[in-house]
Amino acid sequence: MIWGIRQCNKPFTSTAMVNPTRTRTRAMNKVIMMYCIVNLLVAIPTPCLIPTSATLRGHNQRFLIPMARTQLYQHSFFQDTISLWNSLPSTTVACKSIDTLKFSCGHPTNNGGVNRITSGGNVVGVWANYTCATGHENMTGSASRFCQMNGVWTGTPVSCAVKYCGIPVNGSNSTLTYTTTFYNSVATYTCEEGFVSNIDKISTVKTAQCMDDETWSASPLDCQPVTCSHPVHSTYVQSIPVVTYVYRDVVTYQCVVGYMLGSGDLIRECQANGTWTGDQPHCKDIECAAPNNITKGIIKITGKVYGSEAVAVCDAGAAVMSGNIVRMCGLSGTWVGTEPVCQGMCRLHGTWVGTEPECQDVYQVFLTGNTTGIGKNNYSYDLASLAVDVTSLSRYKRSKQSVYYDKPSHIAIGAFGLIVIIAVVSYICSLDLIKLSSQMKYLLTLPEKVSKKAAMAKRPKVVHKVFVTRK
């Protein structure tokens, strides 16, 4: 801070000092006048300015302090001023003019975390007042320091500790990262994969900063699963429940009976970006290939899709001797049953081909499994197509009818059980009868009690008068 141009014969006034004292003001004025005398800027004789040869400390323009025998002379100008002049730093004494004359203590050192709240530079007579900077507290050192004539600040360096916000709390379904937890530190919350903020349903990152009041600027980030829109599908696909689908939910489609997947995917999963994996499923008709042609007949079909029928029609004089006359197109895309075989049986003019076959009772053949002697001349028949389910015959059903079982031990057990049941029922009924009889007695005596109460109510009241005589 430059003190400005001064006239050596004018008093020095400082506008930069904070709370100056009269003693300090006089001392500075004396030093300025001494500067003018030493540099011959004023015509004042200097017989008492004797340079000193001791230059171990200070600058090289030091003078001997005159000896004073009287108290009055001890406080004269040269007595006080030479002592101050010798204590000045060499940079101040070496100023080439009053315009550049400085009385500086240099920038006061401190240990950080403080703000200087007073201006005026670092010159002699200036106070440096400090306060903790934003985000700092617990000041140590001297809050106020003064620049002395010897260029040294009074007091000790000042410092303030940075404030601490504590460990931030993590939110749900999110990760927390931070470097420090002191003032101005930043904590970053990030939603896990497949999750978004439960506030705006979009963002996945949130930051919080440690503030001056030792709190974090934002609350923890709570995340919720990403939602996927209701999956769509084409016709012939079974509907799926209308619910909220979230990240990693899996939907499994099924084609309507009689249809199969034509394109797309039957299994789809909700992804982290809110879309479904795979493509929309499309189902198509289950089709069966055209049935093979048969000898001595044709196959007539009602269609080739699921549920269609293929009927075997044999030529005249032939019949289906094996296989199924009617077959249906099944879910596997094939015709259910075995392929029919048509064989000739009789001529057109009504005579049988070959010799007369020997037949057995079909029921007996089915039961015994004896197929010998069924036919001659190498004729073979499909007994399975001729056999009848035994369990459906009336003979079989009559044989399964229940009969009377007269074993004595079983009869005795049944009779004893019946007796026990009758005894329990009789006991329960007797308890009810006893309770009912007591209630009936009460009801029969109730009119008599009511009449007595009515008679008592009709009786006239007797009032007894008591006369008290006093003497």
Reported as a single tens digit per residue, the pLDDT across 190-220 is 999 999 999 898 999 999 999 999 999 999 9
| 326 and 376 share one domain | no
CA angle 21–23–28, rounded 5-degree value: 100
For residue 73, the SS3 value is helix
Per-residue pLDDT at 40: 81
CATH of the domain at 214: 2.10.70
In a domain, 244, yes or no: yes
* DSSP letter string, 250-265: EEE--BPTTEEEEES-
Q: Which neighbouring-strand residues pair with 305?
A: 287
What domain range is 365 assigned to?
A: 355-397
pLDDT on residue 2: 31
Token pair recorded at residue 15: 């506008």
| Residue 209, phi then psi, degrees to nearest 5 | -115, 140
Angle at 94 between CA 91 and CA 95, to 5 degrees: 95
State whether residue 131 is helix, strand or coil: strand
Same domain, 33 and 94: yes
- In degrees, rounded to 5, the angle at the alpha carbon of residue 187 between the alpha carbons of residues 186 and 193 is 140
235 with 253, same domain: the answer is yes
Clarify whether residues 348 and 361 are in a common domain: no
On whether residue 126 sits in a domain, the answer given is yes
What does each C-alpha distance from 315 to 69, 161, 320, 343 come to in angstroms? 164, 111, 10, 9
pLDDT at residue 334, as a whole number: 92
Give the separation between CA 227 and CA 247, rounded to whole angstroms: 6
341 & 365 share domain? no
Give the whole-angstrom CA distance, residue 403 versus residue 412.
Answer: 18
Residues 89 and 132 in one domain: no
Residue 452, domain member (yes or no): no
CB 329 within 8 A of CB 304: yes
Per-residue model confidence (pLDDT) at position 392: 59
Whether residue 257 sits in one domain with residue 295:
no
How many distinct structural domains can be found in the chain? 6
Amino acid occupying residue 98: I
Let me know whether 29 and 95 are in one domain.
yes
- Are 46 and 65 in a shared domain? yes
The Cα 86–Cα 92 span in angstroms is 11
Helix (H) or strand (E) holding 423: helix 408-458
Q: Which two tokens stand for residue 287?
A: 């089709």
For residue 47, count other CB atoms closer than 10 A to its CB: 7
Residue 74 forms part of a structural domain: yes
Alpha-helix runs per DSSP H in 341-382: 362-368
Closest residue by Cα to residue 233 from 241, 221, 224: 241
CA 445 to chain centroid, in Å, comes to 77
Q: 227 forms bridges with which residues in the sheet?
A: 246
pTM over 0.85: no
Q: Cβ(291)–Cβ(319) under 8 Å?
A: no
CA-CA-CA-CA torsion sign (254, 256, 257, 258): negative
Please list the rounded mean pLDDT of every run of 10 residues in the chain (471 residues): 34 39 70 82 77 70 80 76 80 69 72 82 81 91 83 88 94 94 95 93 93 94 93 84 90 91 92 93 92 90 92 90 91 91 68 51 42 40 47 56 59 82 87 80 66 52 35 35
The 3 state secondary structure assigned to 16-47 is: CCCCCCHHHHHHHHHHHHHHHHHCCCCCCCCC
CB neighbours of residue 140 within 10 Å: 14
Q: Look-up: residue for tokens 């978004």?
A: 196
Tens digits of residue pLDDT in 232-287: 888 888 888 888 999 999 999 999 999 999 999 999 999 999 999 999 999 999 99
Residue corresponding to tokens 């600027």: 217
Cβ count within 10 A of residue 79:
15
Place of tokens 């034509």: 262
| Residue 207 included in any domain | yes
Sequence-separated (6 or more) residues with CB below 8 Å from residue 422:
none
Same domain, 43 and 72: yes
Which CATH number characterizes residue 258's domain? 2.10.70.10
Residue 183 belongs to some domain of the structure: yes
Which structure tokens are listed for 52? Answer: 């000193």
Q: Are 241 and 307 found together in one domain? A: no
* Pairwise CA distance, residues 97 & 39, whole Å: 9
* Burial per residue of 332-342, b for 16 or more beta-carbon CB atoms within 10 angstroms, e otherwise: eeebeeeebbb
Q: Mark whether 158 and 122 lie in a shared domain.
A: yes
Tell me if 447 is assigned to some domain: no
- Inside any domain, residue 450: no
DSSP class of residue 297? E
Show the CA angle centred on residue 285, arms to residues 283 and 287, nearest 5°. Answer: 135
Q: How wide is the angle at C-alpha 27 spanned by C-alphas 25 and 28, nearest 5°?
A: 65
- pLDDT score recorded for residue 71: 73
Beta carbons of 262 and 241 less than 8 angstroms apart = no
Domain stops at, among 397, 425, 450: 397
Look at residues 232, 226, 182 and name the one whose alpha carbon lies nearest to residue 204: 226
Which pLDDT does position 9 carry in this prediction? Answer: 36
Whole-number Å distance between alpha carbons of 442 and 433: 15
Tell me the residue type at 317: G
Residues 374, 360 contacting (CB under 8 angstroms): yes
CB-CB contact of 286 with 329 (8 Å): yes
Task: Supply 237's token pair.
Answer: 């696909």
Q: Concatenated DSSP letters for 277-322?
A: SS---EEEE-B-PPPPP-TTEEEEES-SBTT-EEEEEEPTTEEEEE
Q: Give the count of beta carbons closer than 10 Å to the beta carbon of residue 442.
A: 9
